[in-house]
A and B are shown apart, each in its own frame.
Chain A
Amino acid sequence: MSATDIEPTDTVDARGAACPGPLMDLIGRIRSATAGDVVLLLSDSDRSMTDVPEWVDETDNELLGVDESGDDYGFYVEVA
């Protein structure tokens, strides 16, 4: 299954988010999500390619896939 086949429960559009940034937006949304939800983070920051996987590794959440096919990145994170 490719990342684009995943159906997110919720989408965080952080494209253009200069400060405090896409990962912060993702964490904020995950705080209010429930276990099993899949949050899609849209980001146009190259930094997210390291920020997001590193943070997910620190938690029990799971990075299901990353969509790099378009102009932006799409991170699919399943909430633990």
Chain B
Amino acid sequence: MTHRIAILGGGTGGTVLANDLAERLAPEIDAGDVEVALINDDPDHVYKPVWLYVAFGQREPADGRRPLDELVDDRVDLVIDRVTEIDTDDESLALRDAGGPLAYDHLVVATGSTLAADEVPGLAEGSHDYYSESGALALRDELLSMTEGHLVLSVVGTPHMCPAAPLEFVFMADDWLRERGLREDVDITYTYPINRVHGNPHIAEWAKPIMTDRDIGVETFFNADSVDPDAETLTSMEGTEIDYDLLAAIPPHRGVDVVEAAGLGDRGWVDVDKHTLAAERAEDVYALGDAATTGVPKAGSVAHYQAGVVARRLASEVRGRPATATYDGKTLCFIETGTDAASFVEFDYESPPSPAPPSEKLHWSKLAYNESYWLTARGLL
């Protein structure tokens, strides 16, 4: 029998997985015993970390885009189409453009995150973000025209992609405004939903003194409930109101609707066993990256490592052996602390993060990885 593996989503997790399987199962694919299909509704692969730099005019959106067909191994059947329904009983996917359903024996959901600013009244109209190409470009224009006033970074939605990025934004904004001689005329405030500046206490304890040293205002226990774009105010469910001149917000995130409609989990996230990454509500389904609810950050490194685990598990299943590979929560993040320095954290389910002292070397390491990311997408790094 032919094992048909369908990977839904051509982001970091899906693309790394497709290329891993293409190499790992090359003999089986060449013999016609395994088929690997990667389905994505955009012909391009998008590397989202570039957008933080776009907001400060340091990169362009095109730097984060490459055609999927240049990244994916020829052994993978690349399907540019949109999945409109996942039927986990029938083990098939309905596609928007294709003539008929696509049947699978193994499904991997790697559908990532989407933004849902409309869940908070006024947020879409009154704020900017750097979690999308269009948002980063619009924010860049606003930042370039800002010469005075109050810049507010508000973490509104949780969980969200790249939990370090809000800290990076205010650190970079501080440096960027100082370099341009504008910092004394622009106040910066950072708001966070809980009683410290980051969800992880180790990262929060590291970041808070840096914010104090650099005169970045902090408002904790702040969960934005509404934005008044005309009055330029942001109000929290805890009853605090903040005036802003430019609001950069991390909007609420969701998964994708077809995942929720398939009953795989709430808000488009797939409920999974956090070690095996197997879906808890359906057979023969895995999920990875942002789409999987594992409790670790929605970050590219997570998707990358999880792809390796799922690839090994699928290879075992295809070969009729028990699947033993498991995910240990491994996460790596570089954290920019300005425009010329960065820190680095590594942690897993058992070991907490311990941020490295910021250095120029780590900053260049992050930039170098951003360049070499395309080797990761190809399954080479």
Please indicate the chain B residues that have their CB under 8 angstroms from the CB of A71 in the complex: none
Choose one: A10, A23, A60; the contact of B194 (CB below 8 Å): A23
Choose one: A23, A59, A60; the contact of B199 (CB below 8 Å): A23
Interface centre among A17, A18, A23 (most CB of B within 10 A): A18
B349 touching A55, Cβ below 8 Å: no
Binds A, one of B40-48, B155-163, B175-183, B303-311: B155-163
Please indicate the chain A residues that have their CB under 8 angstroms from the CB of B223 in the complex: 27, 31, 59
Cβ-based interface call for A5 (8 A): no
The 8 A CB mask of B25-65 against A (1 = contact, 0 = none) is: 00000000000000000000000000000000000000000
A28 touching B194, Cβ below 8 Å: no
How far, in Å, is B359 (CB) from chain A's closest CB?
A: 22
Cβ-based interface call for B201 (8 A): yes
The 10 closest A-B pairs by CB, nearest first: A20-B199, A17-B295, A21-B199, A28-B158, A19-B200, A24-B158, A24-B199, A58-B238, A20-B163, A58-B221
A24 touching B348, Cβ below 8 Å: no
B199 touching A19, Cβ below 8 Å: yes
Q: List 5 A-B contacts (CB under 8 A).
A: A19-B203, A20-B199, A25-B159, A27-B223, A55-B194
Residue of A nearest to B225 (CB): A31
A residues sitting closer than 8 Å to B (CB atoms) are: 10, 13-21, 23-25, 27-28, 31-32, 47, 51, 54-55, 58-60
Given contacts A20-B158, A51-B195, A55-B195, whether A31 and B119 have CB atoms under 8 Å apart is: yes
Residue of A nearest to B195 (CB): A54
Cβ-based interface call for B206 (8 A): no
Residue of A nearest to B194 (CB): A23
Give CA–CA (A14, B193) in the complex, Å. Answer: 17
Please indicate the chain B residues that have their CB under 8 angstroms from the CB of A13 in the complex: 295
How far, in Å, is A40 (CB) from chain B's closest CB?
A: 14
Given contacts A24-B199, A25-B159, A32-B119, whether A18 and B295 have CB atoms under 8 Å apart is: yes
B194 touching A18, Cβ below 8 Å: no
Please indicate the chain A residues that have their CB under 8 angstroms from the CB of B158 in the complex: 20, 24-25, 27-28, 31
How far, in Å, is A32 (CB) from chain B's closest CB?
A: 7
Given contacts A25-B159, A28-B158, A28-B159, whether A18 and B195 have CB atoms under 8 Å apart is: no
How far, in Å, is B276 (CB) from chain A's closest CB?
A: 13
Please indicate the chain A residues that have their CB under 8 angstroms from the CB of B353 in the complex: 18-19
Cβ-based interface call for B274 (8 A): yes
Give CA–CA (A43, B200) in the complex, Å. Answer: 14
Cβ-based interface call for B347 (8 A): yes
Choose one: B159, B195, B294; the contact of A20 (CB below 8 Å): B159
Residue of A nearest to B193 (CB): A27
A21 touching B200, Cβ below 8 Å: yes
Given contacts A25-B159, A28-B157, whether A59 and B237 have CB atoms under 8 Å apart is: yes
Give CA–CA (A51, B266) in the complex, Å. Answer: 24
How far, in Å, is B346 (CB) from chain A's closest CB?
A: 11
How far, in Å, is B199 (CB) from chain A's closest CB?
A: 2
A18 touching B352, Cβ below 8 Å: yes
Cβ-based interface call for B329 (8 A): yes
Please indicate the chain A residues that have their CB under 8 angstroms from the CB of B214 in the complex: none
Q: Which of B198-236 contact A (CB under 8 A)?
A: 198-201, 203, 221, 223
Give CA–CA (A26, B330) in the complex, Å. Answer: 22
Give CA–CA (A38, B130) in the complex, Å. Answer: 34
Residue of A nearest to B351 (CB): A18
